[in-house]
Amino acid sequence: MHPNQHDALAVQDLALVRLANALRSLGYQFVTPTPATHERVNARPPNGWATDLRAVFGWSRPFRNSMLPSEILDLMNEAEIVTPVEGGFKSTLRLSSMDELLLWHTAFPTTQADAVFFGPDTYRFARAIDACLKQRTIPVERAMDIGSGTGAGALRIALAHPDSEIWAGDINARALRLARINAYIANLKNVRPVHSNMLDGVHEDFDLIVANPPYLNDSLKRSYRHGGGSHGQELAVAMLEASLPRLRPGGTLLLYTGSTIVDGFDTFLHSARPILQSLPSAWHCSYHEMDPDVFGEELDHPPYEDADRIAAVVLEVTAG
């Protein structure tokens, strides 16, 4: 079933597609910052109430009905994303822009266990995918985005390979719903959301597997943030181990994640090294830091009291 078949969508989901397109026609754009930046900006005295569309759908500020165009408010109600707050209302979803894409995700603050997250990591992940695709000389006939969330990674691949089969896998039903809606908004016909814990239940092999796993040690153990292990590296290592046997010859795994650096020691790479060292000699690996310092506020929390920094890293493994 192709994502552009709008009659296959539920009424609320179709309203979200129409709402995104209506906002696009009004020139809407919003680049989503980190939660810490989001909180700081919203805490400024002038920012208590929304005064424009970016404040409603980007900054997740409360609004009064009178400030929204009637068409927008009607679509919000049809999509069932309006929730009451004292003195007004809020949108339960945010809408972020990534170049030509518009993607729905959970409103700020993302405190729910099944929140669907989008932020600076997503933009870095997309840049890593773009760079990987430019370097590939072997066609991508089938690709998988593990833990796809909003579907941003899958959609990025689909834009470059509109005739290929692109899977967006997640265990979060809310994420799968939004990934499907986001594919409709982009009119990408080749994205297939699928319920999958890593690659369980998916039997195909792939030319490209991408993953942006959570990599923090989150005290609330929220699925979009908590990576497990002492410093959040456990899930990324598990994805690495699960993905490598599913690569076709010449296929590539692109793993964008974070690594806590302790006294100059890369905790993720240390955990992944036994897997990488066991690969056949014909396989190729590359590893680099994309950003040396992310989520610095986490260093104030007990799991990171021994950490120098948290780095955003990219691991690519290509099957020989």
pLDDT digits (tens, 9 = 90+) for 44-96: 999 999 999 999 999 999 999 999 999 999 999 999 999 999 999 999 999 99
- For residue 82, report the phi and psi dihedrals to the nearest 5 degrees: -100, 125
Task: Give mean pLDDT, residues 246-252.
Answer: 97
pLDDT digits (tens, 9 = 90+) for 173-186: 999 999 999 999 99
Q: Is 231 helix (H, G, I), strand (E, B) or coil?
A: coil
Q: State the sign of the Cα–Cα–Cα–Cα dihedral 56, 106, 145, 20.
A: negative
pLDDT digits (tens, 9 = 90+) for 141-199: 999 999 999 999 999 999 999 999 999 999 999 999 999 999 999 999 999 999 999 99
- Report the 3 state secondary structure along 143-199: EEEECCCCCHHHHHHHHHCCCCEEEEEECCHHHHHHHHHHHHHHCCCCEEEEECCCC
Identify the band that residue 227 occupies on the pLDDT scale cut at 50, 70 and 90.
low
Question: How does DSSP assign 239-284, residue by residue?
Answer: HHHHHGGGEEEEEEEEEEEEEEEETTEEHHHHHHHHHHHTS-TT-E
pTM: 0.93
pLDDT digits (tens, 9 = 90+) for 88-124: 999 999 999 999 999 999 999 998 889 999 999 999 9
Strand partners, 193: 168
Q: Decide if pLDDT at 217 tops 80.
A: no
| H or E element in which residue 100 lies | none
- CA 161, CA 143: separation in Å to the nearest integer? 10
Strand partners, 216: 226
User: What percent of the chain has pLDDT above 90?
Assistant: 85
pLDDT at 117: 94
Q: Decide if pLDDT at 6 tops 60.
A: no
- CA 296, CA 300: separation in Å to the nearest integer? 8
Q: How many CB atoms lie within 10 A of CB 37?
A: 13
pLDDT at 238: 93
Q: State the sign of the Cα–Cα–Cα–Cα dihedral 298, 300, 303, 306.
A: positive
Domain range summary for the chain, segments of one domain joined by +: 6-106, 120-318
Per CATH, domain 120-318 is 3.40.50.150: yes
Identify the band that residue 231 occupies on the pLDDT scale cut at 50, 70 and 90.
confident
Q: Decide if pLDDT at 275 tops 70.
A: yes
Q: Decide if pLDDT at 27 tops 60.
A: yes
- For residue 238, report the phi and psi dihedrals to the nearest 5 degrees: -65, -40
